Amino acid sequence: MRKLASIILFLTILYNSFGQSKNSPLQISHLTGDFYVYKTFHEYKGNLIAANAMYLVTNKGVVLFDAPWDKTQFQPLLDSIKARHHKEVVMHFATHSHEDRAGGLDFYRQKGIKTYTIKLTDEILEKNKEKRAEFVIPNDTLFKVGQYAFEVYYPGKGHAQDNIVVWFNKEKVLYGGCFIKSTEATDLGYLGDADVKEWEKSIKKVQAKFKNPKYIITGHDDWKDLNSLNHTLKLVQKYNAVH
């Protein structure tokens, strides 16, 4: 019986580690150290679009950066984190007001998780009569959670009026969200709330402020290519040259 239990446990761990097929609605992959990137999906204009987000495991609990785009995965994400790391999510940051980033604020707030946005995001959510975060933070704020420190930074307008990025200086991890396009992107995507002229200035601010990132997490598509920030700048410049 003990041998059977061991086999079942092993298979469960194996499934959790490698059993996430390309069809899984929630896909978690290890980035580096205590950093993990997770992917969820949402149907947009008839196509299933993937969205990337990230979480960090600290000795004070897990910090979540953005929420699943698929609302059915809000709870499975918490369950997966608990099963994998034996820790609770304690903080959640939304990097701008769009649904693929801020859609989980109310759900996680009701779970007792501290939720955060900058003031501009809060104002947009309030104006649109959408659920808001519990805490509103200054545009440029340093946080220390357990053994990790990170900076929440507002570079200016871009993909959205209120897009922020998150920088982990020691680990050289730049979480860009939708502010940074994947090198797979052939255009700038949804521009309904964008300011493409300001986006160019904002990208250059990020490049000047956060030097030599080892990892750059984009909001959508593949994030493994470190040329994503330069690629976004080129897409923006190409757009501005025509418009």
Tokens read off for 10: 């092993």
Tens digits of per-residue pLDDT, 136-150? 999 999 999 999 999
Question: Does the pLDDT at position 224 exceed 60?
Answer: yes
Backbone φ and ψ of 212, nearest 5°: 50, 55
Predicted confidence at residue 20, as pLDDT, reads: 55
Distance from the first to the final alpha carbon of the chain: 70
Predicted confidence at residue 146, as pLDDT, reads: 98
Q: Which residues pair with 174 in a beta bridge?
A: 167, 216
Please tell me the distance from the alpha carbon of residue 170 to that of residue 172, in angstroms, as a whole number: 6
Determine the average pLDDT of the residues in 95-121.
97
Predicted confidence at residue 45, as pLDDT, reads: 76
- What integer best gives the mean pLDDT of the chain? 92
Q: Where are the alpha helices (DSSP H) in the chain?
A: 2-18, 74-85, 99-102, 105-110, 119-127, 196-209, 228-242
pTM, two decimals, is 0.90
Determine the average pLDDT of the residues in 66-82.
97
